[in-house]
Amino acid sequence: MAEATTKTSIATQMPPKAQKRHRPAELNALVGLVGIALVFEILGWIFQGQSFLVNTQRLSIMVLQVSVIGIIAVGVTQVIITGGIDLSSGSVVGATAMIAMSFAQVSTYPRAVFIEQGWVDLPVIVPIIVGLACGLLAGLINGLLIAYTKIPPFIATLGMMVTARGIAKWYTKGQPVSFPTEDFAAIGQGMMPVVIFLVIAVLFYLILKYTVYGKHTYAIGSNQDAARMSGINVERHLVLVYSIAGVLAGLAGMVVAARGLTAQSGMGLMYELDAIAMAVIGGVSLSGGRGSIIGTAIGMLIFGVIISGFTFLRLDAYYQEMIKGAIIVTAVVVDVWRQKRRALEA
């Protein structure tokens, strides 16, 4: 009897089974980035007789190519963390580019949109405010529809995607808007798009990690009902998140217009899918509640490596689309598998 009691006492004092620690999704994405880069490095020596990575100009162009979509992806990341989705960002880029550029034209261009009104040679702050306001309006409408009418985010942002693209085409009857002032053009010149992305990424990394806004964003994505019961105003926060995503899409629209020195209604086509893919590849869970800006930045670099690598190998552009599609599907499958594994181990 005493022996049995002793065994029971020992058993109760034994520590519980330690939970298996999972490798962060961002680390998985980083490993994938390194692996893809090494593959292109090897293929470069085999088919081109030169290095893919040891080329400063190629690397800078690579980052520059994806920095604009990276700005959008920062906003999309926050939307996905809440358990939502934003399909409108690419169209918002096109509409914002057209409208903001029309307020940034020089007076020496006789076909300026507002030359008769005298709204030319305006200070650079004017088109910037107009562009950000356009993005804010689009995001605000998305957020209000999703939060207060309970329309699924997919439907609400799909409607905005179609509407914003229509506005971009209607604004000047499909005609491009060109000849910006030097100050506005400077927004997209050189490595300025990369600088803007880095500032935005660092800012929202800190906000998501250390502020109440970030805690509420993750809480809503993890369990919206529990977040509401804990006192979080879920509806107001969703409106804020979608508004921020709209503002960042508007900023990206101005950057891409300034970089090309012209705005066209077709700008930003498919940007929303690339931004979503960057986030998902970087470990942001489509079910919400998980993800980070660091992961999205790594996903952005993976896209940049793929685009630059295919160009380096002189392969046709349609191969890029097929590979990107395969990577997106793979990333989603991995995310689903990761969630099921966590559920089984819980």
Residue-wise pLDDT for 98-153, tens only, equals: 999 999 999 999 999 999 999 999 999 999 999 999 999 999 999 999 999 999 99
Q: How many domains does the chain have?
A: 1
Question: In this structure, what DSSP letter does residue 45 have?
Answer: I
Q: Which residues pair with 177 in a beta bridge?
A: 263
pLDDT at 304 (0 to 100)? 92
Q: What is the DSSP string of 162-205?
A: HHHHHHHHHHTTT--EE-B-HHHHGGGSTTHHHHHHHHHHHHHH
Could you tell me which residues come within 8 angstroms of residue 261 by beta carbon, excluding any fewer than 6 positions away? 178, 179, 180, 185
Sign of CA dihedral 178, 181, 182, 187: negative
Does residue 19 sit within a domain?
no
Q: Do 68 and 189 contact (CB within 8 A), yes or no?
A: no
Alpha helix positions (H), 44-152: 56-81, 89-102, 125-148
Q: Which residues pair with 178 in a beta bridge?
A: 262
The whole-model pTM stands at 0.91
Does residue 249 sit within a domain?
yes
Please report where in the chains the tokens 């298996």 appear, as a residue. 20
Does residue 299 sit within a domain?
yes
The whole-angstrom separation of Cα 183 and Cα 60 is: 23
The whole-angstrom separation of Cα 76 and Cα 63 is: 19
Does residue 116 sit within a domain?
yes
Please report where in the chains the tokens 């798009």 appear, as a residue. 193
Does residue 281 sit within a domain?
yes
Does residue 345 sit within a domain?
no
Tell me phi and psi for residue 189, to 5 degrees. -90, 155
In three-state secondary structure terms, 263 is strand
Q: Do 67 and 307 contact (CB within 8 A), yes or no?
A: no
Residue ranges making up the domain that contains 265: 26-41+52-339
For the chain, which residues score pLDDT lower than 70? Answer: 1-22, 346
CATH of the domain at 137: 1.10.3470
Sign of CA dihedral 182, 188, 190, 192: positive
Question: In this structure, what DSSP letter does residue 46 have?
Answer: I
Of 126, 75, 135, 71, residue with least CA distance to 101? 126
pLDDT at 334 (0 to 100)? 81
Does residue 47 sit within a domain?
no
Q: Which long-range contacts (CB under 8 A, 24 or more apart) does 198-203 make?
A: 200/71, 200/74, 200/248, 200/251, 201/70, 201/74, 201/293, 201/296, 201/297
Does residue 7 sit within a domain?
no
